[in-house]
């Protein structure tokens, strides 16, 4: 560099050299801006990181690791921004969920916090750019004039880019964003949720009317079942795998009312993520009739705690109870029913069923209620009926004189699905028991409701022909 400076002193190269040195200092300053223009901080219940960097597209990107990104062309100017979600404060989220609806002022405060994070990143980048360009310009030229020129160029470039971005920013651009990563599926998910939310009210009304019609027809004298109303019986409603589906919850409530059931047996997975809030919501929706709940693999200790707080609910996992109607009922929850895990372990379920069958050997059991049907297999020939769910597929079969009944899924298709086809019906079952002989199973009605097509089906299986014939 010293040799070039000597040559410049002897000719006209010196002005050109100063421009090149100042330009290099500006370039280094912009690189420093890209590295240093970052900040992090809280935005409401979230912790976010903000990064600004030179770019030609004027884009804002919202990053949600590891799920992907959402990007939109929000402004003009040679500057882009990335806002990354670093952490979610679950305690704050829960506190917000328990409070009244958030005020507009609260949202404004969060917006101010985000603007402060962006401003902090901009200031950090600008200071770094000025320091880097000034240092390089002075080291290479030892000229105050060239150094000041480099500083002014950096201020004009970065300051102008920041000002243009702020003045032209349009948050409405996120109405048509671009998705990357797993979030590519987000439009389909949003569309399905919007469709389901729009349909919920009408579906709940249809389900309620349908439950009344089913009960009125299949409980009447002109029923296809011999014996018509099956006098001398009481009814038990079997539901499973509700997954907090609002239409399924309404169906369970309406069936319990329409059939005037003496007991509801739920074989698990009433929640989806196992949070305490899900448990509290489910408990609040419970029918006022006696409700026996068997934990599924989607449950957790928090969900069970919320359910048990409802005085009408009995949570059974390895216990035997005698109902007010005189039924002896053993409940066996999924091995994961009190954990934070939910991936099913079939081998553990089978072992738990075998152990329970060995412990209860010699006991008279009317109902064995389990989450996974495999858990109930050891009770073939020992119980009147084994109730289960988990597979979301209705089933009724007789094994060694024991009725194995799977309610399917009373929750039908729930919000986690990205597509609503093929359609899974909301399903449940009604069991008829003898009043005089409480453990004597007379018949089973299997009910399926297809909300999308507004159709339903019911299939009655008579288990005890002698009772129906009045013998």
| H or E element at residue 445 | strand 441-450
Measure the CA–CA gap between 57 and 120, rounded to whole angstroms: 22
Helix axes 186-218, 246-258, angle to 10 degrees: 10
Q: Is residue 309 part of a domain?
A: yes
Residues 256 and 222 in one domain: yes
Residues 236 and 274 in one domain: yes
pLDDT at 94: 57
Measure the CA–CA gap between 377 and 448, rounded to whole angstroms: 25
Residues 335 and 228 in one domain: yes
Q: Is residue 182 part of a domain?
A: no
Residues 289 and 404 in one domain: yes
pTM of the full predicted structure? 0.60
Q: Is residue 447 part of a domain?
A: yes
pLDDT tens for the chain, 471 residues long, are 455 455 445 555 667 777 787 788 888 988 999 999 999 989 888 889 999 988 888 889 888 776 677 888 988 888 999 998 888 776 676 566 555 556 667 777 888 888 899 999 999 999 998 999 989 888 888 888 888 988 898 888 888 888 888 889 888 887 777 767 655 555 554 454 445 545 555 555 655 565 666 565 555 433 333 334 688 999 999 999 998 887 788 888 888 888 889 999 999 999 887 877 788 888 887 768 999 999 999 898 889 999 999 999 999 999 999 999 999 999 999 998 887 666 778 889 999 999 999 999 989 999 999 999 999 999 999 999 999 999 999 999 999 999 999 999 998 754 444 344 556 788 999 999 999 999 999 999 999 887 656 677 888 999 999 888 876
Of the candidates 351, 336, 244, 350, the residue with the CA atom closest to the CA atom of residue 298: 336
Residues 296 and 205 in one domain: yes
Residues 72 and 120 in one domain: yes
Residues 159 and 221 in one domain: no
Residues 116 and 48 in one domain: yes
pLDDT at 288: 80
Among candidate residues 144, 176, 208, the one where a domain is terminated: 176
CB 79 within 8 A of CB 37: no
Of the candidates 2, 15, 36, the residue with the CA atom closest to the CA atom of residue 133: 36
CB 51 within 8 A of CB 70: no
Q: Is residue 39 part of a domain?
A: yes
CATH number for the domain spanning 254: value is: 3.60.21.10
Name the domain count of the chain.
2
Residues 266 and 338 in one domain: yes
Residues 223 and 152 in one domain: no
Residues 148 and 282 in one domain: no
- Spell out the residues 6+ positions from residue 33 whose beta carbon is closer than 8 angstroms to its own: 52, 53, 54, 125, 126, 128, 129, 154, 158
Among candidate residues 176, 208, 228, the one where a domain is terminated: 176
DSSP state of 424: P
E strands along 15-110, which residues? 38-43, 46-54, 59-64, 68-73, 79-88
pLDDT at 237: 96
Q: Is residue 404 part of a domain?
A: yes
Instruction: Name the residue range of residue 429's domain.
Output: 198-468
> Beta strand 383-389 with 402-406: parallel, antiparallel or unpaired?
parallel
Residues 236 and 307 in one domain: yes
Q: Is residue 232 part of a domain?
A: yes
pLDDT at 206: 58
Q: Is residue 140 part of a domain?
A: yes
pLDDT at 78: 87
Helices (H), 155-271: 160-168, 186-218, 246-258
Q: Is residue 428 part of a domain?
A: yes
Cis peptide before 340 (omega within 30 of 0): no
pLDDT at 270: 92
């Amino acid at each position: 560099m010293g040799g070039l400076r000597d040559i410049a002193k002897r000719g006209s190269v010196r002005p050109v050299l100063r421009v090149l040195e100042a330009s290099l200092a500006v370039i280094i300053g912009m690189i420093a801006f890209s590295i240093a223009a970052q900040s992090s901080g809280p935005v409401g219940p979230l912790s976010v990181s903000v990064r600004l960097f030179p770019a030609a597209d004027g884009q804002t990107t919202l990053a949600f690791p590891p799920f992907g990104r959402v990007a939109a062309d929000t402004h003009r100017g040679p500057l882009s921004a990335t806002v990354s979600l670093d952490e979610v404060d679950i305690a704050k989220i829960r506190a917000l969920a328990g409070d009244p609806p958030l005020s507009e002022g609260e949202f404004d405060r969060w917006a101010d916090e985000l603007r402060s994070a962006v401003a902090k990143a901009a200031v950090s980048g600008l200071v770094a750019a000025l320091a880097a360009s000034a240092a390089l310009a002075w080291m290479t030229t030892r000229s105050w004039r060239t150094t000041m020129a480099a500083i002014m160029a950096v201020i004009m470039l970065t300051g102008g880019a920041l000002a243009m971005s702020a003045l032209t920013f349009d948050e409405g651009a996120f109405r048509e964003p671009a998705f990357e990563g797993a979030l590519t599926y987000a439009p389909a998910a949003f569309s399905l949720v919007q469709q389901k939310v729009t349909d919920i009210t009408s579906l709940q009304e249809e389900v309620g009317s349908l439950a009344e019609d089913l009960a009125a027809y299949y409980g009447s004298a002109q029923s296809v079942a011999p014996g018509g109303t099956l006098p001398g019986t009481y009814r038990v409603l079997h539901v499973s795998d509700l997954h907090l589906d609002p239409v399924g919850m309404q169906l369970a409530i309406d069936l319990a009312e329409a059939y005037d059931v003496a007991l509801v047996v739920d074989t698990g997975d009433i929640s989806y993520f196992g949070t305490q809030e899900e448990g509290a919501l489910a408990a609040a929706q419970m029918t006022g009739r006696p409700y026996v709940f068997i934990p599924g693999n989607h449950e957790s200790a928090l969900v069970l705690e919320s359910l048990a707080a409802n005085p009408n609910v009995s949570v059974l996992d390895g216990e035997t109870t005698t109902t007010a109607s005189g039924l002896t009922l053993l409940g066996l929850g999924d091995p994961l029913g009190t954990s934070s895990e939910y991936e099913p372990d079939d081998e553990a379920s089978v072992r738990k069923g075998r152990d329970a069958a060995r412990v209860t050997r010699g006991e008279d059991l009317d109902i064995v209620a389990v989450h996974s049907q495999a858990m109930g297999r050891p009770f073939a020939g020992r119980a009147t009926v084994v109730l289960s769910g988990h597979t979301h597929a209705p089933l009724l079969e007789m094994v060694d004189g024991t009725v194995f009944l799977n309610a399917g899924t009373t929750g039908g298709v729930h919000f986690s699905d990205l597509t609503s086809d093929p359609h899974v019906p909301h399903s449940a079952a009604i069991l008829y028991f003898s009043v005089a002989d409480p453990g004597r199973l007379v018949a089973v009605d299997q009910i399926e409701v297809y909300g999308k097509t507004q159709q339903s089906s019911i299939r009655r299986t008579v288990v005890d022909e002698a009772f129906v014939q009045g013998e």
